[in-house]
């Protein structure tokens, strides 16, 4: 598969990506646990069918010490026993926020309340921002048909 355009060689894309990456850095510097951040990025990318982001974030998570069991069970997190209650709340918020168009009322109050039981306000805004940001990256990569498989951990550090 070949991308529809070379975003790494396009000056306009470079300017835009600089801001997206800065937003991602702001989120990564919050007190939201790093493992939760990677799980959220992977789960949203699974839902959106973004191979480029799945390739990147599964490899980054594994390089950071995430287990293959948790990575392999992430798509079925409701049935898996390897996720904490806080991670489950983040994953539910991720799914609801990613599939926002599927729910007439947006994210249900009970999903928000469950996340708020596990995360303080700084962590919640980081979580919401991360969900929005990874969805933006997913949509761009899917539309551009960015190929997956060659990512190396730390490649964009």
State the total domains in the chain.
Answer: 1
What residue numbers bound the domain in which 35 lies? 11-144
Q: In this structure, what CATH number is given to the domain that contains residue 61?
A: 1.20.1290.10
**pLDDT one-digit tens code per residue, 25-46:** 999 999 999 999 999 999 999 9
pLDDT-derived band at 154, boundaries 50, 70, 90? confident
The angle that helices 51-63 and 34-48 make with each other, rounded to 10 degrees, is: 160
Q: Is residue 4 part of a domain?
A: no
Measured CA distances, 154 to 58, 60, 141, 151 (Å):
12, 7, 19, 9
Q: Is residue 78 part of a domain?
A: yes
**pLDDT one-digit tens code per residue, 10-26:** 999 989 989 999 999 99
Measured CA distances, 61 to 5, 38, 93 (Å):
28, 6, 20
**C-beta separation of 134 from 32 below 8 A:** no
Q: Is residue 3 part of a domain?
A: no
Q: Is residue 59 part of a domain?
A: yes
Q: Is residue 152 part of a domain?
A: no
């Amino acid at each position: 598969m070949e991308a529809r355009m070379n975003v790494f060689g396009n000056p306009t894309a470079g300017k835009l990506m600089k801001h997206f990456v800065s937003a991602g850095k702001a989120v990564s510097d919050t007190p939201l646990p790093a493992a939760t951040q990677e799980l959220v990025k992977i789960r949203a990318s699974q839902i959106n069918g973004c191979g480029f982001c799945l390739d990147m974030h599964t490899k980054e998570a594994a390089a950071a010490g995430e287990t293959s069991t948790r990575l392999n069970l992430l798509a079925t997190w409701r049935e898996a026993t390897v996720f904490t209650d806080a991670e489950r709340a983040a994953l539910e918020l991720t799914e609801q926020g990613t599939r926002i168009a599927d729910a007439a009322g947006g994210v249900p109050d009970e999903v928000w309340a469950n996340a708020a039981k596990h995360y303080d306000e700084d962590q919640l805004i980081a979580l919401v921002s991360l969900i929005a940001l990874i969805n933006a990256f997913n949509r761009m990569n899917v539309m551009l048909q960015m190929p997956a498989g060659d990512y190396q951990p730390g490649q964009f550090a």
